[in-house]
Amino acid sequence: MTSLAGILPYIQIALSVLLVVAVLIQKSEAGVGGSFGGGDNFNAGFHTRRGFEQKLFYFTIACAVLFVVSSLLALIIK
């Protein structure tokens, strides 16, 4: 377990960077006006992801799950 304890912080850093990048490159459909109640964004919540957008969405979820698992593992090891 000592080798895992030594490499786990680097894994967490890599996962956190991947997660931040994946979240930031996703397209946001709601503009600033939509967030404050302006505009006609009634159907903005009903958006079907296709192609690369769907793969990026699943990649973001996978990165988040792996980051949570690695964080819990770090707590157990210490």
Q: Is residue 35 part of a domain?
A: no
This prediction's pTM: 0.73
pLDDT in tens, 9-23: 999 999 999 999 999
Q: Which of 70, 59, 3 is nearest to 26 (CA)?
A: 59
Q: Is residue 42 part of a domain?
A: no
Q: Is residue 28 part of a domain?
A: no
Per-residue confidence (pLDDT) for residue 41, from 0 to 100: 54
How many Å apart are CA 41 and CA 49, to the nearest integer?
Answer: 17
Give the Cα-Cα-Cα angle 62, 72, 3 (nearest 5 degrees): 95
Between 65 and 1, where is the model more confident? Answer: 65
Q: Is residue 10 part of a domain?
A: yes
Q: Is residue 37 part of a domain?
A: no
pLDDT in tens, 33-58: 555 555 555 555 667 888 999 999 99
- For residue 64, give the amino acid letter: A
Q: Is residue 5 part of a domain?
A: yes
Per-residue confidence (pLDDT) for residue 42, from 0 to 100: 58
**Cα dihedral 47/48/52/53 (nearest 10):** 30
Per-residue confidence (pLDDT) for residue 43, from 0 to 100: 57
Per-residue confidence (pLDDT) for residue 12, from 0 to 100: 96
Q: Which domain holds residue 54?
A: 1-23+49-78
> Structurally, how many domains does the chain consist of?
1
